[in-house]
Amino acid sequence: MSGPTSPPATGATAASPIGIFDSGVGGLTVARAIMDQLPHEPVMYVGDTAHAPYGPRPIAQVRALALGIMDELVEAGVKALVIACNSASAAVLRDARERYTGRLGIPVVEVIQPAVRRAVAATRNGRIGVIGTQATVGSRAYEDSFSAAPHLQVVSAACPRFVEFVEAGITTGPELLETAEEYVAPLQAAGVDTLVLGCTHYPLLTGALSLVMGDDVTLVSSAEETAKDLYRALVRHGLEHPHSAAGSAAAPQHRFAATGDPEHFQALARRFLGPEVGRVQRIDTVRERYPTAALTALTPDVLARLRAEMEQEGAQ
């Protein structure tokens, strides 16, 4: 293994938190896996509930929203970014890695490729189904990721109402089951034996989806594989929390924020994640507050360059 790369240009250290974001509570499934696999790492989670769901929005709008949230997390001093949203991963991954990893040394981890890896390993008959939001399915990001395995047959279906169910706290019931049966009918007709839950909200509907698809179909979530990718990125960048090596029993301090109603987010987050969720802060995104973005955490030379670039982007 090669040595670690240079630390982030923002001044973030190995003891800094990991920034995770999603359009709502779905990304908590990824946060849960990260907390379980990396118990010493503090997490800063943002749910962009004011703009949820991302799925029906144009790709360009999802990109702008996602970059705004990630700017906020970088301003707050995170050492790594996790795009815990399939729609955002499809829309912004390349830009995010250029903007934050290439320029600032902050690793960016996403959720699509990890799910693809698990699905390829899980399928027995070579027929894989993918369900996701309209934005994710329309982007064909999964088909592109599966292209390295051309022997596989991939069938996708958009399930736009699933996010609405989860954000309303509905994870079972006749209406959900009827909707699920309608959405997955083409996948069942195609004979898939593996179903990729291509939205981080969907693992919260595992009970209903398992019932509808049947025991012979393997459901694949990206959460655990994403946590593994994050660990590899932290080690590669020399950013693993010092308490990990020291074996400290000290519990990390996690922070949670939402751009919409913090009380509603807190109620759902505690239900889905547990007591780790304390008081939820309400925030606006950086781009809503400052046209050129708040980048005071960055070093002066990087700040000057990025501010000029963002002003130029805003003028276009």
Task: List, as residue ranges, the binding site for substrate.
Answer: 22-23, 54-55, 86-87, 200-201
| Residue 159: active-site member | no
- Look up residue 170 and give its two tokens: 């509905």
Helix (H, G, I), strand (E, B) or coil at 72: helix
Residue 95 CB-half CA count within 13 A: 16
Residue 74 CB-half CA count within 13 A: 31
> Of the listed 38, 128, 199, 310, which one is catalytic?
199
The span from the CA of 225 to the CA of 206, in Å, is 17
Inter-helix orientation angle 28-37/262-272, to 10°: 50
> Do the strands 80-83 and 108-109 form a parallel or antiparallel pair, or are they unpaired?
parallel
Known binding-site positions: 22-23, 54-55, 86-87, 200-201
The span from the CA of 316 to the CA of 312, in Å, is 7
Contact 159, 131 (CB under 8 A): yes
> Of the listed 85, 128, 131, 197, which one is catalytic?
85
Q: List, in sequence order, the alpha helices (H) in 174-285.
A: 174-189, 206-213, 223-236, 242-246, 262-272
| Residue 85: active-site member | yes
Query: Please, which residues have CB within 8 angstroms of residue 75's CB and are 6 or more apart in sequence?
Result: 286, 293, 294, 295, 296, 297
Q: What are the phi and psi torsion angles at 216 (to 5°)?
A: -80, -10
Contact 21, 256 (CB under 8 A): no
Which of the residues are catalytic? 85, 199
